[in-house]
Structure 1
Amino acid sequence: MIREGTRALIRAVGRSIAASLVPPAPRRELLVIQPDHLGDGILALPALRWIRRTYPSLQLTLAIGPWNVPLYETVSVCDDLLVLPFPGFSRERPRTPLAPYRLLVQEARRLRRRSPLAAIVLRDDHWWGAWLCKLAGVPIRIGADHPEVRPFLTHPVPLRSTHVAARDIELVAAFLRILGIEGTNTEVSPDRFPLTWPIDTAAQEQVRRLLRDHGVTEPFVVVHPGSGASAKCWPATRWTTVVGALQQRGLQVVLTGSTGERPELETITRGIRMPVTILSGVLSLAMLAELLRLAQLVIGPDTGPLHLAVAVGTPSLHLFGPTQPERFGPWGPPERHRILRSALTCVRCGNIGPDRKLGLGCMIALTPEQVLVVVDELLVSSRER
């Protein structure tokens, strides 16, 4: 942590730098800052598509972390990507306490050369991104009316919604109102602003070949047990029970995850008599989307691929522990995308930091029996459609 006196000095230096440089005339470019990882990046798609539909002539640039480049290169929602290693989101500790502030000055100079007309900071508490825009001299700076962000904005927006997707849409509506565009006072809901993912026929054919090579035929269920935050994960033994029960119901099971998650996936398969297909580190994001589209059901914790399942329209079951489903739950029809969380009073604490490891009480409180009850309900409803 940096002491308040040091932080005040850094801010004073930043103001001095900003005042000493006159930015060029702003061009017709909107910069949208989205520092988060895959899940929040997917949830931003309805808001970004609204900008594109409403103002197609506007140059739309996304400032994202390198972790979300595959997402925004796969879906066409912007004209350009500005890749930044956002402090606090890289899941690595800064080398020195001053490193985030040095990066701030460096990136502000780069952004000043672009000279965008406006910027929207999607994450409501992202003071670093808001400060970046102010330091770069962006004329219109929009974000949530959050105490850590407000000082750097020209237009702090009091947000009514709780869900991340809805809050992103509210911020876009504020930007459109500033431009004088009508029709922005509209209902914010998944029906009005659906989360979708276009079919990629080439990727789907690759997935079909991969499934044939592994002997997987429909119907099958995808289980994605991993997450970037260990606190959101369910114990492997619980997944083993669920996978075995799915096989007893006549369903093949495909486990997905990153290369680094393969040992955990292999642990899940131990003790299961029938073969389970593991696809770890072999799927591009486009292929993962098509795999989920072909599945009958997708199960996992609060993680990006579960939002991808919602986007492709496959029924899904989301296991929630310390995170808030009201904020991060599925942005889609609730009858097709179900949430399961424990009755513990401490749930939704939001504490998923690196010191919070696998095995939290709120996740352990979820039983395989509870999961299978919801699974059966989703399987019945999916067959009836």
Structure 2
Amino acid sequence: MTRDFVRRLVRRLGSTVPALPLAPSTRREVILIRPDHLGDALLTIPALRALRATEHRLYLTLLVGPWTREVFMLRGLVDEVLVASFPGFRREPTRNPFEPYRLLFRLAGSLRRRGPMALVVLRDDHWWGAWLGALAGVPVRVGADHPAIRPFLTHPIPLQSQHVAARNLELVTALLTVLGYTDDSRPLAPEAYPLVWPSDPVAARAVRDVLERCCVTAPYIVVHPGSGAAAKCWPAERWATLVDTLAERGYQVLLTGSASEHALLATIVAATSSAPHNLAGQLSLPELAELLRKAALVIGTDTGPLHLAVAVGSPTVHLFGPTRPERFGPWGPRARHRVVQAQLRCPRCGDIGPDRACGTACMMAIDVDDVLGAALELLESRSIR
């Protein structure tokens, strides 16, 4: 019996499994499920801030993967953070095809005992999370009107927006309407619902120490070459050329990445003549935020740290290949952010699965000069100072 067969069978039968009885609760708890990684987590912040800003006092609980728990520990953003190692988002194979469903039933029992009044599935196609809410007997279950999750929802919402941040805002607005609350009528745009990340004095001091150790005295640019999906990678030699060109113009360049990306960054450094600093694996998430906050510019692919750069107010250049900037682009003032993508006839397929390696045509078609031009435009613009 293959994994795909098990998955299809369970999804088909899932909506017919009776829900567990819900425990009574006087707490006005709303469970929000966000299973994915850093970028999607950050793009949830405007919706959470909108919920928190309403006069209706709801107890907000986030159910997230361990990989984004730190994002949601911001003071006052939510009341509680629950962690689950969501199947399909671990970036490692599941050995037992039945394990995701054992976890599902365990979590359903846990949610049933909490007795939440509502649940919101923030990812359009997350049928596992939607079924979790149905199995736990949560009376109000809100999510996108997507075929994969529609059978498990009480209120499937036809979303009109393209951008993920706006879609999150649509869902929480729909939740308030379903619960009988009024919501504001501001446009679903960054100006009305900004993406922000608060400063951290402790992390800022640590970053000052890093900059002193690296002898960074000139305005610096942060380059984040890595990505959680190989299909979004840009060739190392092009990063090296870009870094050297920026260094020739008087900017010191810092390369950032996770510990697992150290080899990639080392390859880039080895191909340069300017020897940029390799900070892979050396910064916590709050420290990375503070490093980005002080940068003259941040350059990278469609990845979480670039959204973090937007959140701290730094100007950014985003390289887009298989994913669509209308959906995942910078959620911030247009004057401060640039998207660079190849002008190919093929549609943005969105295929960033593990079977796709580096070197996709849409990333290979991005020229160094295009990225450099966008970077210099921002660096020379008075509007970002």
- Is 1:130 aligned to residue 125 of structure 2? no
Output the amino acid matched with 2:5.
Answer: I
Poorly superposed stretches of 4+, deviation over 6 Å: none
Q: Aligned pair in 2 of structure 1 residues 371, 116: CA closer, same or farther (>3 Å)?
A: same
1:350 alignment counterpart: 350
Is the CA contact (8 Å cut-off) linking 1:34 and 1:62 kept in structure 2? yes
- Say whether the 8 Å CA contact 2:378–2:384 is kept in structure 1: no
Equivalence for 1:381 = 381
Deviations 1:108-137 (A, max 9, x none): 111111111101110011111010000001
Contact 2:21 2:136 in 1 (8 A): no
Distance 1:330 1:55 in 2: 29
Relative to structure 1, is the Cα distance of residues 169 and 9 closer, same or farther in structure 2, using a 3 angstrom cutoff? closer
The residue aligned with 1:273 is: 273
8 Å contact from structure 2 (residues 335, 384) kept in 1 = no
Report if the CA contact (8 A) 2:315-2:384 is conserved: no
1:60-79 CA deviation, whole Å, 9 max, x = no partner? 10000010012112454111
| Map of 1:23 onto structure 2 | 22
Residue 382 of structure 1 deviates from its aligned partner by 4.9
- 2:71 paired residue number: 71
CA contact (8 A) 1:23 1:115 kept: yes
**2:44 matched residue in structure 1:** 44
1:240 positional shift: 0.3
Matched-pair contact (CA < 8 Å) for 1:48–1:77:
yes
Letter in 1 for 2:88: G
Which letter maps to 1:292?
Answer: L
Q: What are the ranges of 5 or more consecutive residues in structure 2 without an aligned counterpart?
A: none
Contact 1:318 1:340 (8 Å CA) reproduced: yes
Distance 1:381 1:235 in 2: 28
Correspondences of 1:1-385 after superposition (within 5 Å): 1-2=4-5, 6-7=9-10, 10-11=13-14, 15-16=17-18, 18=19, 21-26=20-25, 27-55=27-55, 57-74=57-74, 76-382=76-382, 385=385
- The 3 A distance-change label for structure 1 pair 110 and 124 is same
Contact 2:176 2:183 in 1 (8 A): no
Change (3 A) 1:224 1:83: same
**Percent of pairs identical after alignment?**
54
Question: What RMSD, in angstroms, separates the aligned Cα atoms of the two structures?
Answer: 1.7
1:337 positional shift: 0.8
Q: 1:382 to 1:40 in 2, by over 3 A?
A: farther
- State the shift of 1:55 in Å: 4.4
Tell me the SS of whatever aligns to 1:143: strand
CA separation of 1:228/1:78 partners in 2, compared to 1, >3 Å: closer, same or farther?
A: same
> In 2, distance between residues paired with 1:50 and 1:370?
36
Q: Find the aligned partners of 1:271 and 1:310 in 2 and give their Cα distance.
A: 29
Q: Measure the CA separation in 2 of the matches of 1:314 and 1:185.
A: 28
Q: CA–CA distance in 2 between the matches of 1:76 and 1:36? A: 22
Relative to 1, partners in 2 of residues 1:247 and 1:117: Cα closer, same or farther, differing over 3 Å?
same
- Deviation per CA, 1:165-191, whole angstroms, max 9, x where unpaired? 000000010111123322334311011
Unaligned runs of 5+ in 1: none
Determine the C-alpha separation between the residues in 2 that align with 1:33 and 1:157. Answer: 16
CA distance in 2, matches of 1:384, 1:330: 15
Q: Please give the alpha-carbon distance, in whole angstroms, between the structure 1 residues aligned to 2:312 and 2:75.
A: 13
- Note closer, same or farther for the CA distance 1:383–1:247 as it changes in structure 2 (3 Å cut): farther
Closer/same/farther in 2, CA of residues 5 and 219 from structure 1, 3 Å limit: closer
Give the conservation status (yes or no) of the 8 Å contact 1:317–1:375.
Answer: yes
Q: Displacement, 1:93?
A: 2.0
